[in-house]
Amino acid sequence: MKPHDYNEKIAAADVYGIAERTPLDTARLLSTRLGNQVLLKREDLQPIFSFKLRGAVNKLNQLPEAMLAKGVICSSAGNHAQGVALAAREKGVKAVIVMPITTPSIKVEAVRMLGGEAILHGDNYDAAFAHAKELEQQRGLTFVHPFDDPDVIAGQGTIGKELLEQCATPPDAVFIPIGGGGLISGIASWLKAHSPTTKIIGVEPEDSAGMKASLAAGHPVTLAHVGIFADGVAVRRVGDETFRLCQQLIDEIVTVDTDQICAAVQDIYEDTRSIVEPAGALAVAGLKQYLAAHGDRDKTFVAINCGANVNFDRLRHIAERAALGEQREMLMAVEIPEQPGSFRRFCSALGKRSVTEFNYRYSDATQARVFVGVELRRGNEERREVIASMEKLGYPVVDMSDNEMAKVHVRHMVGGRSPGLDDERLFRFEFPERPGALAAFLNAVGERWNISLFHYRNHGSDYGRILTGIQVAAEDAEELEEHLSALGYAHWDESDNPAYRMFLN
């Protein structure tokens, strides 16, 4: 099937008995910040919170009654599964869904709530696909491919038809997530026929860039490994038909990392108050990456918000990484002298920048190594300034902002027991969180006693929380308590806490 033949299929696709015509919303905050009009195609507002419903509905609409009567089967990381399950339920058709065992539980439960038979099999989409094809033969079901099927592609292409109808003038570019390639193939087929000047820009995660690798090779390639953070696009091999279409229709592919995806989730939330899944934020992340490289101004760009099926517990990770992705935070390891008052002097050297994280554990009597997060207002330019100023003041610095192990693991592991450390007492503090609060705390504690442990992380709440170890001789304990009480900060002595005894003391 030639690309232009898809126009007829898209025009004839009747998906609206179940799927909805989604709004094309202006992202006002993003538009102002980026100096261009940014429009969000809100596929996250579909009944299953994903565009996948369109392709599933169109495919089932094309199947003969005899095939529908036997039932359908599909393999999916979640969103296509829900689309097939809902489309099948509305038609009174049995649906069997094979999903990787890594699929977020919110998507598995959604399939079951829609009446689908959910079968978890394999660690990735490809394993689920192979098992679904086996069951197709065993049970006499009809397989509904998530992306490499002309009817599914045409169903997704209705998005392109809609957004052109919704735009006052054709957009300069449309940014589209790529997994297997069905979404971008459908949209691009319509746009290139009806708005040939509109650029089609695909967006993939750096660790799942199957279409980019395939286009570079000149044929579909199978990736050895795909990252599953953006599980909605975690596909090792793109489709044959989608590859053919992408070869002819798309103008460019942009890749983004996990931190950039997390930052885009936050961008979309701040403009819409909706939380999309990582794959759903790919287009915005790619748009920002593209503009950073090209510097376009006063143009109109559309980003496809393709889905919002995200596990609630994943939000913790997204929130933590968003500041790094937006270059609003840097992480660094710094050596400072191991002596009373050194923390306070170090914080003073940072100036008026807010400290977002401060992790430290006593290791020896000469040098202290601290893991520090610092808020940035001017991105990488300010990041370089901070490092230069620290080194100028004699503090050895290692930038950890791009160190994946440090960001995921080490920041949570700074600590442990410290052999040979005498007279340590552990205190927990709470104080009103505001700019400069950490420096004010350290100034109040003063330089009389040595700090042997320190853990602080700004979580965006009203109150800051600090866990700190202070070396104090037994004869000075009462004086320390009087001093801490006079500070006015709520505090608790945790020296007898079993967690401290087991892991830190």
Q: Give a three-class secondary structure readout of 408-434.
A: HCHHHCCCCCCCCCCCEEEEEEEEECC
Q: What is the model's pLDDT at position 460?
A: 60
Q: Please, where are the H alpha helices in 295-428?
A: 315-325, 342-349, 379-392, 404-408
Low-confidence residues in the chain, pLDDT < 70: 1-4, 409, 413, 433-436, 459-463
d(CA 121, CA 144): 17
- Give residues with Cβ within 8 angstroms of 90, minimum separation 6: 17, 18
Domain boundaries, the chain: 3-50+150-318, 52-143, 327-503
Q: What is the model's pLDDT at position 340?
A: 79
Q: Are strands 24-26 and 424-432 parallel, antiparallel or unpaired?
A: unpaired
Query: What percent of the chain has pLDDT above 90?
Result: 52
The C-alpha R_g of the chain, in whole angstroms, comes to 27
Residue (of 206, 210, 160, 214) closest to 183 by Cα position: 160
The pair phi, psi for residue 122, each rounded to 5°, is 85, 165
Fold match between domain 3-50+150-318 and domain 52-143: yes
Task: Name the burial class of residue 123, with classes exposed (0-12), middle (13-18) and buried (19+) by CB atoms within 10 angstroms of its CB.
Answer: exposed
Handedness of CA 296, 299, 302, 308 (dihedral sign): positive
Q: What is the model's pLDDT at position 161?
A: 97
CATH class of this structure's domain 327-503: alpha beta
Residue 482's CB: how many other CB atoms inside 10 A?
A: 9
Q: Which CATH architecture describes the domain 52-143? A: 3-Layer(aba) Sandwich (3.40)
- Fold for 3-50+150-318, please state it: Rossmann fold (3.40.50)
d(CA 488, CA 484): 7
The answer to whether the CB of 303 falls within 8 A of the CB of 40 is: yes
d(CA 480, CA 459): 28
Residue 340's CB: how many other CB atoms inside 10 A?
A: 16
- Give residues with Cβ within 8 angstroms of 316, minimum separation 6: none
User: Token pair for residue 114?
Assistant: 């829609």
Distance from the first to the final alpha carbon of the chain = 70
Question: What global pTM score does this model have?
Answer: 0.79
